Chain A
Amino acid sequence: MTRFRLSLSRAPVDEPVLAQRPFDLLCLTMASVLVVHALHLPWWLTLTLALVLTARWRQRRTGGRNAPFWIKLPLIGLLLAVVISYYGTLFGREPGSAFAVGLLVLKMLESEHRRDARVAIAFACFGLMSALLFDQGLAASFVVALGLVPAVATLRSVEEVDPQSQPLRRQLLPVLITLLAAVPLAAFAFVFVPRLSSPLWGAPTADKSITGLSDRMAPGEMAEVLTDDTPAMRVTFDGTPPMNESRYFRAYTMTNFDGQSWSPDYDGGSRAPGTLEGEARFNYEITLEPTRQRVLPVMDMPVEAPSDARLRGDRTAEADHPVDEVYRYHASATTDYRLDASIDDRQRRQALRLPDGVGPHARELAAGWASQYGNDHLAIARAALTMFHDGGFRYTLAPAPLGRDRIDDFLFQTREGFCEHFSSTFTFLMRAAGVPARVVTGYQGGYWNKLGSYLLVRHADAHAWSEVWLEGRGWVRFDPTGAVRPERVSLGAAAAAAAGNSSEGGLFDMAWLRNARDHWDVVNQWWNQAVNGFDALRQEGMLQPFGIRRAEVGDLAVILAVGCALLVAAALGWAMFQRREGDALDAWMQRLERKLARTGVTRRIGEGPRHFFARAARSLPGQRNALERLSQLYLRSRYAFDEPPPESLSEFRRQVKELKVRRVVK
């Protein structure tokens, strides 16, 4: 039975109205744009836009048409007003994307024709991409890529003759195949597109600070960070990793205390790094999630500065630029060291300075230790640790709020808190007792991922401890939190929190969940390293195995052009390839026809084989016998059987090959 599709005729001048299916797909695309942006849009804006989209979808289903301009114009004005009043500006990453997503949804109000749908899809692609500026993790990227499916499907559906005739599944599946087929070329281009070593214009600035370490520390303010389970960095070690007790990563040292909060000594930070005696024992590589800060956490105690960074006077590392993207660096550390065997007067004064009027009771306590132990600073520090251990202090992430005098309130009233409280108070006590001391913040512990053999450090692993300068030994680390809750140091933040708050830790401890998290984190780590961390530097070194030490932009462009051309040529070969019609006998018959055509005997359209052979034999008398044999053989093979038998097929092939024709000159 033959199937006919009636031709649908239309005058080319007026654009046809979109059919139902393309419009549905268009709505689906807009919905996916809305979904990928939902995380950073205010929830009420997302909800309103979703309602507008749904209303428009339903309205058009029931036969409605374009919204009149007196609805559209106020809506656009309203969107503008809402965005500006909420964000305070229209420019910047967040207000810009909110406005763009809003405009895209409002564009649906006037999407009636094919042209509108195409324009909307093009900008929806842009909208999908802009969502990656907020989060380029594996999950987010995958969701965004999934958003391409309805977008491409809309473009296809707009072209289709009768889009309604096929189920939605049959329209989405080919799109998926199209996108998968594009992956090789895309991956190749991705690897070889020359990266910019410096941005052409300003990189997006964070409108909202991301959780993480800050360069100020006030007891109780870190709680938000300590409950944040997202990864802060991942560390791989060459060789054996250090024990849990040694996994201290320093980010800031804080010398200045104003009674409320601690902050680094920025003047002193520019000093040359202090002298360090000790040998590098651990070589490691850190993949740091974006922090929007310049500081690079390094393991205690860094022997030398990571690449593209410098060590400050307090042996914390600082990068040239804020870390806005996933950043990888190598460093080495030693656990057996002597830092700053001697310090000058200015440093000593700074490490002893206390604000006036703060912690009078604490000062009395410290004065007692000072008179008891005299110049034995180590004994004073031990006495303080003993006090934290035995003085009824409690580790909790939800401590009672502190009053005006944070030090005295904590020491003599609440006696509960976490690392910030302990290190802050410990440092205060040391200084009050005449021992130079400072607060260090960073990360401690981490979770060892056996599957990927790396250390996963979460924001929850943020920690604060103290360093005390002892005569002859330099700066020595003291962790008063460990005195209160040893698990915090030996097992990590999760264990410490679990003991304090059993419900959360219990969930985390479930074996299958931990296993799943391991796997998920390994994949994320891979994505971060292989995709997000593939920067200009790594691109340059990419061609080293091929003898190109440093790939220049020109080299990359040439490789990109040549490679793309080769891939396209391969695809072109596929596109041009046409299966020859018919079976093997036909193929050999065609070859024979080509052979004979060289002598001037061309088979006419519609000419039967018998007639053709006879005509050929007439014009090539020298080959008459061979042609007659061929004719018999062909007719028998073709018409005596359903399928040409293999033996006569091979005989025919042999004879075709043997037939010698000479080109006739006419």
Chain B
Amino acid sequence: MPPAGERIVAWAERRLPSLTRMRRREPLPIQLHRRRIYIVPTGFGVGFSLLLAVMLIGALNYANNAALMLTCLLGAATAGSMLVAFRTLNGLSVGGLRAGTARAGELIRVSLDIAASQRERMAIRLDVADREHVVVVIPGAPATIEFALPTDFRGWLSLPRMRLHTRWPLGMFRAWSWLNPDNPVLVYPRPEALGPTPFEPEGDADRGRPRAGDELASLRDYRPGDPRRQIAWKLSARHHGLLVKDLEQPAPKEDWRLDWDSMHGLDDESRISRLARWVDEAKDSGRRWSLRLPDGYFDIAQGDEHYHRCMTALALRP
């Protein structure tokens, strides 16, 4: 853009903050009204107006009143379409923000509701994240727009500035309004890719001792007192002595007690991503876990709710 163009845009942004994307953040729901809806002709609108001008001059030149009437009719319909475009946006309300979960680096799915109390609104378009979404809004039935945002960091992710616009009805005018919602969505921390398993729980005395189970662990020589049904008769027949099947039960998964302070020599971010990986692993393997952070403690539990609480706390670590 030439410098003059840039200067004009900069001036416009200073003078008319809501005309351009500079609009300040505001909480949802956002109600569109006349002070924030702008309208300009599209390229097609400009071209069509030029054509109308040519038609007007032609009709006047040939003193052809029927043609003049036709031109006036088209011109008036064009002007009317400008008002209809405005009315399509006027009174819309944007709210109902819902977000999925995502860890930093993944795409987060976000949905917004667009509602209107009167009139069916045709062809409402929302430009967000380099894509255009089109919906029809029926009074009393909010339309939902879903989109995915890229995430980089854990914590609150503010929604990008979005442009709600329409070219309805004739495509000759574009009415638009910038949305800059104040409502952020939460991004969980990115778990580290590789790393150690958590430290072993303290005070677990019988750790490592096999318990009787159904799973075959090894064969050993018979010792007096072994139960008979554990003797491997078939194998013993080919051996000089009796062999006994040593059966073992898998040890129940240990509860993980995850502690911020147990990790030494790591900076905060590494601790967060390690803890995030452990919480992820614990949830995936069906373990119970507790999480101790410098400013909070989540007692031993399992399940989605516990998971989201822990991840939220991790995401919001300063």
List residues of chain A with CB under 8 Å of any chain B CB.
Answer: 2-5, 7-12, 114, 118, 122-123, 125-126, 128-130, 132-133, 136, 140-141, 144-145, 148, 152, 155-156, 158-162, 174, 178-179, 181-187, 189-190, 193, 195-196, 199-201, 203-204, 324-325, 531-536, 568, 571-572, 574-576, 578-579, 581
- B-chain residues with CB within 8 Å of residue A10 when the two chains form the complex: 131-132, 134
CA A184 – CA B72 in complex, angstroms?
10
Q: Pick the residue among B76, B144, B167 that contacts A185 (CB under 8 A).
A: B76
Name 7 A/B residue pairs within 8 A (Cβ), A-sorted.
Answer: A7-B143, A7-B145, A10-B132, A141-B70, A161-B123, A186-B72, A575-B86
Interface string of B52-82 (1 = CB under 8 A from A): 0011111111111111111111111101110
Question: CB < 8 Å: which of B44, B66, B86, B136 contacts A132?
Answer: B66
Determine if A159 and B83 form an interchain contact, defined as CB atoms under 8 angstroms apart: no
Q: Across the interface, do A159 and B143 meet the contact criterion of CB distance under 8 Å?
A: no
| Per-residue interface assignment for chain B, residues 87 to 104, with 1 indicating a CB less than 8 Å from any chain A CB and 0 otherwise | 100110000000000000
Q: How far is the CB of A654 from chain B (nearest CB, A)?
A: 29
Q: Is the CB of B61 within 8 A of A199?
A: yes
**Cβ contact of A12, chosen from B75, B122, B131, cutoff 8 A:** B131
Selected contact of B167 from candidates A12, A159, A186, CB within 8 Å = A159
Q: A7-B143, A7-B146, A578-B91 are in contact. Are A128 and B70 (CB under 8 A)?
A: yes
Asked whether any CB of chain A lies closer than 8 Å to the CB of B316, the reply is no
Which residues of the other chain, A, contact B74 by a CB distance below 8 angstroms? 125, 148
Contacts of B57 on A, CB cut-off 8 Å?
200
Decide yes or no: A160 and B123 within 8 Å by CB, A182-B73, A182-B80 being known contacts.
yes
- CB atoms of B132 and A199 under 8 A apart: no
| Shortest distance from the beta carbon of B177 to any chain A beta carbon, whole Å | 15
Contacts A9-B132, A125-B51, A195-B60: A189 and B72 contacting too (C-beta < 8 A)? yes
Q: With a CB–CB cut-off of 8 A, which chain A residues contact B167?
A: 159
Decide if A196 touches B72 in the complex (CB within 8 Å): no
Shortest Cβ-Cβ A-B pairs, 9 listed? A182-B76, A136-B66, A185-B76, A186-B72, A186-B76, A182-B77, A575-B83, A132-B67, A186-B73
Asked if A158 meets B69 with Cβ closer than 8 Å, knowing A4-B141, A9-B132, the reply is no
Least Cβ distance of A113 to chain B in Å? 12
- The CA of A304 and the CA of B54, in the complex, are separated in Å by 41
Please indicate the chain A residues that have their CB under 8 angstroms from the CB of B48 in the complex.
122
How many whole Å from A206's CB to the nearest CB in chain B?
13
Q: Which residue of B lies closest to A191 (CB)?
A: B72
Stretch at the interface among B152-160, B168-176, B243-251, B258-266: B168-176
Of the candidates B60, B65, B71, B135, the one having the most CB atoms from chain A within 10 angstroms of its own CB is B65
B118 interface residue (CB < 8 Å to A) = yes
Beta-carbon contacts under 8 Å, B31-49 to A = 34, 44, 47-48
A579 surroundings in chain B (CB, below 8 A): 118
**In the bound complex, CA of A203 to CA of B63 (Å):** 9
Chain B residues, Cβ within 8 Å of A186: 69, 72-73, 75-77
Given A531-B66, A571-B79: 13 more A-B contacts, CB < 8 Å: A9-B134, A125-B55, A125-B74, A129-B58, A136-B67, A148-B74, A185-B72, A189-B75, A193-B56, A196-B60, A203-B62, A571-B80, A575-B83
Closest chain A residue to B63, Cβ basis = A325
Give A147's nearest chain B residue, CB to CB.
B70
Which B residues from 109 to 167 make CB contacts under 8 A with A? 117-118, 122-123, 127, 130-136, 138, 140-147, 167
Q: In the complex, are the beta carbons of B65 and A11 less than 8 A apart?
A: no
B169, A144: Cβ atoms closer than 8 Å: no
Contact across chains for A178 and B143 when beta carbons are under 8 A apart = no
**Is A133's CB under 8 angstroms from B67's CB?**
yes
Say yes or no: A199-B143 contact (C-beta < 8 A), given A161-B134, A186-B76, A578-B118.
no
* CB-defined contacts of A534 to chain B, threshold 8 Å: 65
Q: How far is A178 from B146 in the complex, measured between Cα atoms in Å? A: 33
Q: How far is the CA of A193 from the CA of B56 in the complex (A)?
A: 9
A122, A179, A190: the one contacting B68 at CB < 8 Å is A190
B144 to chain A, nearest CB (A): 6
Q: How far is the CB of B27 from chain A (nearest CB, A)?
A: 8
B61 touches A200 (CB 8 A): yes
With CB as the reference atom, state the residue of chain B lying closest to A579: B118
Min distance, Cβ A141 to any Cβ of chain B, angstroms: 4
Distance from A198 Cβ to chain B, minimum over Cβ atoms (Å): 10
B47–A122 contact, CB under 8 A? Answer: yes
Given contacts A9-B133, A199-B61, contact A118 B44 (CB under 8 A): yes
CA of A578 to CA of B119, assembled, Å: 11
Q: Which of A186, A199, A533, A574 has the most CB atoms of chain B within a 10 A radius of its CB?
A: A186
CA distance A5 to B61 in the complex (A): 50
State whether B122 touches A7 (Cβ < 8 A): no
Once A3-B138, A132-B64 are accepted as A-B contacts, the answer to whether A12 and B132 lie under 8 Å apart by CB is yes
Residues of B within 8 A of A195 (CB): 60, 63
Q: Which residues of B contact A136 (CB under 8 A)?
A: 64-67
Q: Which residues of B contact A531 (CB under 8 A)?
A: 65-66, 69
Q: Assuming A182-B76, A186-B76, A575-B86, is B122 touching A160 (CB within 8 A)? A: yes
**Residues on the A chain within 8 Å of B142, using CB:** 2
Query: How far, in angstroms, from A531 to B70 measured CA to CA in the complex?
Result: 12
CB contact between B79 and one of A152, A204, A568, A576 (< 8 Å): that residue: A568
* Residue pair A575, B90 in contact (C-beta under 8 Å): yes
Contact B171 A155 (CB under 8 A): yes
Q: Are A183 and B134 in contact (CB under 8 A)?
A: no
A535 to B142, CA, bound (A): 54
Given contacts A4-B144, A7-B134, A148-B74, contact A535 B118 (CB under 8 A): no
Q: Is the CB of B131 within 8 A of A576?
A: no
Pairwise interchain contact B135-A193, C-beta atoms closer than 8 A:
no
Q: How far is the CA of A473 from the CA of B154 in the complex (A)?
A: 115
Residue of A nearest to B78 (CB): A182
- Decide yes or no: A159 and B118 within 8 Å by CB, A5-B143, A10-B132, A152-B77 being known contacts: no
A159 and B122 contacting across the interface, CB-CB below 8 Å: yes
Are B51 and A118 in contact, with the CB atoms below 8 A? no
Chain A residues with Cβ below 8 Å from B84 are 178, 575
Contact B70 A12 (CB under 8 A): no
Contact between A12 and B127 (Cβ–Cβ < 8 Å)? yes
Contacts of A183 in B (CB 8 A): 73, 76
**B59 → A minimal CB distance (Å):** 7
Q: Does the CB pair B75–A572 fall under 8 Å? A: no
Do A132 and B141 have beta carbons less than 8 Å apart?
no
- Min Cβ gap B87→A in Å is 5
Q: Do B72 and A193 touch (CB < 8 A)?
A: yes
Evaluate contact between A126 and B51: CB separation under 8 angstroms.
yes
CB distance from B217 to the nearest CB of A (A): 56
The residues of A that contact B83 with a CB separation of less than 8 Å are 571-572, 574-575
CB-CB under 8 A from B76, the residues of chain A are: 182-186, 189
Q: Which residue among B44, B56, B77, B127 has the maximum number of chain A CB atoms within 10 Å of its CB?
A: B77
Chain A residues, Cβ within 8 Å of B58:
129
> A189: which B residues are within 8 A, CB to CB?
72, 75-76
Give the chain A neighbours of B117 by CB distance below 8 A: 581
Complex CA distance for A122 and B45, rounded to whole angstroms: 10
CB distance from A199 to the nearest CB of B (A): 5
Of A130, A145, A201, the residue contacting B61 (CB under 8 A) is A201
* Closest B residue to A156 using CB positions: B169
Q: How far is the CB of A440 from chain B (nearest CB, A)?
A: 31
Complex Cα distance, B127 from A365, in Å, reads 97
Q: Which residues of B contact A152 (CB under 8 A)?
A: 77, 170
Q: Could you say which residues of chain B place their CB within 8 Å of the CB of A8?
A: 133-134
Do the beta carbons of B73 and A148 come within 8 Å of each other? yes
CA distance A199 to B59 in the complex (A): 10
> Which A residue's beta carbon lies closest to that of B146?
A7
Output the residue of B63, B86, B130, B145 with the most chain A CB within 10 A. B63
**Residue from B90, B131, B168 in contact with A11 in the complex, judged by beta carbons closer than 8 Å:** B131
User: Bound state CA distance, A576 and B83, in angstroms?
Assistant: 9
Q: Which residues of B contact A114 (CB under 8 A)?
A: 171
Contact of A133 among B64, B81, B90 (CB under 8 A): B64
B131 near A9 (CB under 8 angstroms)?
yes
Partner of B51, one of A5, A122, A158, A159: A122
